[in-house]
């Protein structure tokens, strides 16, 4: 796949990702995280770190899920690869926190693992469909 096509896929995946994740961040997450992690939360979001995570994670979705699915011609591959990436990425963060931080709630780990898996699977599938439509 040409680099320019990969960059285009990345740029198309950005808004898809944010559209899906903003629903979670705007609706369910604030109450859940404030209730269970309020004592650990910073007063201000470190936007540089947040943006860096999102840019890296979206690159992972494109390179590890969407492009291989396009090459194989399989949306199922996009879903499975995306789901696995989401599980691994969110699992790395949450399971490390569960292992090393005092009072890190198991509920947050479970919810985040489920969300990361669903988020990456949905974004991978949607980006695959967009790429196929665009040819």
Q: What is the pLDDT of residue 3?
A: 75
Local confidence pLDDT in tens for the 135 residues of the chain: 677 888 999 999 999 999 999 888 888 888 999 999 998 888 898 999 999 999 999 999 999 999 999 999 999 999 999 999 999 999 999 999 999 999 999 999 999 999 999 999 999 999 999 999 997
State the number of CA atoms in the 13 A half-sphere of 30 facing the CB: 6
Q: Are 37 and 105 in contact (CB under 8 A)?
A: yes
Q: Are 123 and 61 in contact (CB under 8 A)?
A: yes
């Amino acid at each position: 796949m040409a680099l320019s096509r990969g960059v285009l896929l990345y740029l198309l995946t950005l808004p898809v990702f944010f559209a899906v994740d903003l629903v979670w961040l705007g609706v369910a997450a604030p109450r859940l995280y404030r209730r269970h992690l309020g004592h650990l939360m910073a007063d201000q979001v470190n936007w540089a770190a947040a943006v860096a995570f999102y840019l890296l994670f979206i690159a992972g979705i494109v390179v590890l899920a969407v492009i291989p699915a396009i090459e194989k011609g399989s949306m199922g591959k996009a879903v499975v690869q995306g789901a696995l990436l989401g599980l691994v990425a969110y699992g790395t963060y949450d399971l490390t926190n569960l292992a090393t931080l005092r009072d890190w709630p198991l509920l947050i780990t479970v919810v985040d693992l489920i969300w990361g898996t669903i988020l990456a699977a949905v974004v991978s599938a949607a980006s695959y469909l967009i790429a196929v439509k665009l040819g």
